[in-house]
Structure formats: structure tokens, C-alpha cells
Amino acid sequence: MRADGLARVAEIVAARGALVLSGAGISTESGIPDYRGPSSAGRERRPITYQEFVRSEDARRRYWARSFAGWPFMEARRPNAGHRAVAALEAAGLVDGVVTQNVDGLHQRAGSRTVVELHGSLREVRCLRCGAVEARAALQERLAALNPGFVEAAPRYAPDGDADVPDDVVASFRVAPCAVCGGVLKPQVVFFGENVPPATYEAARDMVDAARSLVVVGSSLAVRSGYRFVLQAKGAGKPVAVLNDGPTRADGDADVKVEGRLGELLPDLADLLL
């Protein structure tokens, strides 16, 4: 059954012009946990919302303390075989690009060139007052200087790049302001409760319009911001393939669905085509 499904996906991709829509499931084999996949079972953790971050200084302190603890872990993540397979298919001219729901930058590190990051990137921060952008690595250095006695957190990490930190450590954590105007810094990611920037959505929508097919990899599509591209492709009569380790919102929409680990499925797919 799996071999037949992959063969059908290969037929779709072989026609060229495929667009990959990726989610957290492609990065779990790089060590990054997800929110909704099999590895998330039993994990009780609610990510910060945009409204909390903007309104509460305490919420921002908690976020940045956890982000400071989690950044070295995220920086150490590397692309896995699934990311590399997607990049190889793009290099061969079979895949036109990637729309990703991930904020880890691993597609680019693997060599993918045309990538729209639907939910932004952890690699930059932006000032909410003046709009100045700073590299996250540079901010890490400033946070380290402000918090020389910081105690490392327990190794429990989240998809958005932060980690659990004891409350007493959070309470004493010093947050770095914007280096330009002293305003509030926010990571360049779309928080829960925040809208995808219109320009980003339009870029992704245009890529779906231009594609001949859509291949969903590693996403449950529980979030509407991803699932609407499946509906867009289906509405235009384009084939949709889904590869995921578990059920997805698009299982009933897909022309073909293959279940399994992306680090195995995607290299196998590339082997059929390259």
C-alpha cells in the first residue's frame, strides 16, 4: 500500500510544477517537537498568544527567558533527510518551491531556494515601535550580557524555539529593548492569535496558483492558514498529495495519502524520481 501510494505521488511530481506545503512533521526528525503530531501526545503546553505578548510585560519576560534558554538548542538543529530530499527535487526542476508553516529555517539550510515562510522565522526580531530588525543571534548576545547569572533550563523544548524555565528565574530575567529606539522586540514569527501578514499570504497564494500540484508534507493542517491552500488547489482542479505520520484535515481532500516518517518517505520519493 505504501509503495503504491508513493508511486502515485511520484507520478504527480514527475509532471513538474509541484509545490510543497510543509509543517512541523518534517522537522521532528531534526529533534524539533511539534504541537499536534504523534510526538506531542501527553504534552500539556500552551504557546504564548500575540495578545498576551503585546499587553503584558510579564508575558514578554517569560517568553524571552524561555527563548533565551531554547535558542542554543534551535541553532544546533540541522536539516534531515526529508528536508534534503525536498531540496533535491527542487534542484531537479520537479518542485517549484516550498510554502512552510515552520519557523526553523531548515528548508533553506538544506538548500531549498524558493521558500515562503508562512508563519515567519525565528532568525530575526522586529521592534513593535520603530520596525527595526535585528538578527536573533545578535539579540542572544545582548540577552546574555544582561543576564550573566542565568541558570540553564531543563531540556524540554517547543516548536517555537523556547524552553521551560523555572518561575524564579523568569522573575529575575532582564529583557533587552530595541537597540535603536528602546521599544519592544518581538520575534519575526506569527504567534497564536495573530494573522499571517497579507504580503506573505499573497506570495503563498500566488505559488499555489502557479503550481500544477500540491504536495503536503508533515502537516496535520489543523490551522486554517495551511488548509486553505489545499482548498485553493482542489478548487482549481489540481492534484493534492499528502504525506504525513498520522491523520490530517485534508485526508478527505487528497488524491493520494501516504502515512509514515517523512525522513523515510521523502528520500524514497526522491529515489523514484531522480
The catalytic residue positions are 119
Compute the Cα dihedral for 90, 228, 190, 58 and give only its sign: negative
Pairing of strands 18-22, 213-217: parallel
Record the cell numbers describing residue 20, joined without a space: 510543497
3-state DSSP assignment of residue 231: helix
Whether the Cβ atoms of residue 202 and residue 225 lie closer than 8 Å to each other:
no
Residue 13 contacts residue 55 (beta carbons within 8 Å):
no
Number of Cβ within a 10 Å radius of residue 262: 26
Grid cell digits, residue 246:
498520522
Residue 28 CA to residue 242 CA, distance in Å, equals 17
Could you give the angle at the alpha carbon of 206 between the alpha carbons of 205 and 208, nearest 5°? 65
* Amino acid present at 56: S
Give the other-Cβ count within 10 Å of 173's Cβ. 19
| Residue 262 identity | L
